[in-house]
Amino acid sequence: MGKTGKGLTVKQLEALCRHWPGVTRDIKWGADLVFSVGGKMFVVTPADGSEGGRFSLKVADERFLELTDQLGMVPSPYLARAHWIAVTEPRRFDTSELEALVRASYTLVRSKLTKKLQAELAPLPPA
């Protein structure tokens, strides 16, 4: 996508993820919009865009401490042990940086699917 700006709205998140192979979206826990691939979550955000646009996503193990050391990012409640972070202040970050984190989360979760399921998905379009 590569738009300039700060933060990432629910609408921008939808536009980013909707064309990726195998992505589904649903509402869980009453109010959270969840994007998944192969039935596995890769990003979660309040469906109504509340909480300042906060969202959570999976990150590579080796990036977890680096990212959570930044202002505006913390270990995600309930999911930190699985190396999920919560972007609590998305407006601190460039939209393109956040989009790259979401794409990396999708790629990471997709890579953990069974080989059979991975083979059934179309290749991820270039960034």
pLDDT at 20 (0 to 100):
96
The pLDDT-based confidence of 6 (bands split at 50, 70, 90) is: very high
Q: HSE-up of 32 (CA within 13 Å, CB side)?
A: 14
Per-residue pLDDT tens digits for 78-110 = 999 999 999 999 999 999 999 999 999 999 999
> What residue segments make up the domains of the chain, in order of their start?
10-112
The model carries a pTM of 0.93
Structure confidence at residue 98 (pLDDT): 97
Digit-coded pLDDT (tens) for 12-71: 999 999 999 999 999 999 999 999 999 999 999 999 988 888 999 999 999 999 999 999
**pLDDT for 2:** 42
- Architecture field, domain 10-112: Alpha-Beta Complex (3.90)
The residues with which 41 forms a beta bridge, in sequence order, are 36
